[in-house]
Structure 1
Amino acid sequence: MNESTEFEYVGFWLRVCAHLIDTVLVLVVIIPILFSIYGSEELVSGVTLSGPMNILVSYILPAAVVITFWQARQATPGKMAIGARIVDARTGDKPSIKQDAIRYLGYFVSTFPLCLGLIWVGIDKRKQGWHDKLAGTVVVRRKNGGAEPVKFGD
């Protein structure tokens, strides 16, 4: 088993911070687009937006952007802000596009039931959520005096 003393796993609270940054950035892009499509009445009234444009803007666009960031930078802007990146759990290399797609879809699995798959990051020794386990990835950053050294392999 390869062990890296250069990196550490990124834990639950740092990943929550990264996700909050990403959520704000996504909303800054998506809300004006939805506003231009549906108008202020429907957005402000809380009416459920439906139709192909909502699916495109609210689901497909964010998925495409996130997976593109993962492929280009191994991180979203939020993860970059905390110095984290996503790597293959076995090798430490850049994940494949298949792993990134599985990881993204795994977020939906991780939120059911009661976000347990996301909370799992705080419990797991390698700080993997269910989406990471499904995709075979881990989130790491340069070591800042963290606890557990990163181990690549099974």
Structure 2
Amino acid sequence: MNREITPIYVGFWLRVLASLIDTAIVALITAPLMYLWYGEMYPSIDSFAVGPMDIMINYLLPFLGVILFWIYKSATPGKMVIKAQIVDANTGNNPSVKQSVIRYLGYFVSTIPFGLGLMWAGWDKRKQGWHDKLANTVVIKSL
């Protein structure tokens, strides 16, 4: 990071807000697609995955969307609303494709132990969750 400018790290609650915004956007896109594909049976299905299209709509589409936003905008729509961006922890540059994939997969690692890895951003001096630490990224206020 540019040593002349001290980054302002975005804390836990603002990141929660950004996540809620992103979740709502994803739901507004995926729910109608699922309904179009599976029809009236979709809301009553209790299984993890109904079929290949379910996996594409609910897992692959959000994965690709988030990764592309991180690579090209350095933020998801929710982070843009709160004026935050994800950057490489060492250089301050946009995250690489590799960092973005590691960060996304790191969400699962962060969530599995009762969300402890996500909450970690509330205690960490640079406000990094475990997914940030794994990918060597930080979330900072946009300039």
Secondary structure, aligned partner of 2:124: coil
Q: Normalized per residue, which structure has more strand?
A: 1
What CA distance in whole angstroms lies between the structure 1 residues aligned with 2:96 and 2:4? Answer: 21
Match of 1:105, as an amino acid? L
What CA distance in whole angstroms lies between the structure 2 residues aligned with 1:72 and 1:142? Answer: 15
1:86 aligns with 2:60: no
Q: 2:5 is matched with which residue?
A: 4
Cα displacement string for residues 114-138 of structure 1 (whole angstroms, at most 9, x for unaligned residues):
0000000001110000000000000
| 1:3 Cα deviation after fit | 5.7
TM-score (norm 1): 0.87
Query: Structure 1's 3 and 137: CA in aligned 2 closer, same or farther, altered over 3 A?
Result: farther
Q: 1:129 is matched with which residue?
A: 129
**RMSD over aligned Cα atoms:** 1.5
Q: 1:68 is matched with which residue?
A: 68
TM-score (norm 2): 0.93
Secondary structure, aligned partner of 1:138: strand
What does residue range 25-64 of structure 1 map to in structure 2 within 5 Å? 25-43=25-43, 45-48=44-47, 49-64=49-64
Higher normalized contact order (CA 8 Å, seq sep 6+, divided by chain length): 1
Equivalent residues, number: 141
Q: 1:120 is matched with which residue?
A: 120
- The alignment-based identity, stated in percent, is 57
Q: Which runs of 5+ in 2 are unaligned?
A: none
What CA distance in whole angstroms lies between the structure 2 residues aligned with 1:130 and 1:51? Answer: 31
> Which portions of structure 1, spanning 4 or more consecutive aligned residues, are displaced by more than 4 angstroms?
none
Q: Normalized per residue, which structure has more helix?
A: 2
Query: Structure 1's 142 and 51: CA in aligned 2 closer, same or farther, altered over 3 A?
Result: closer
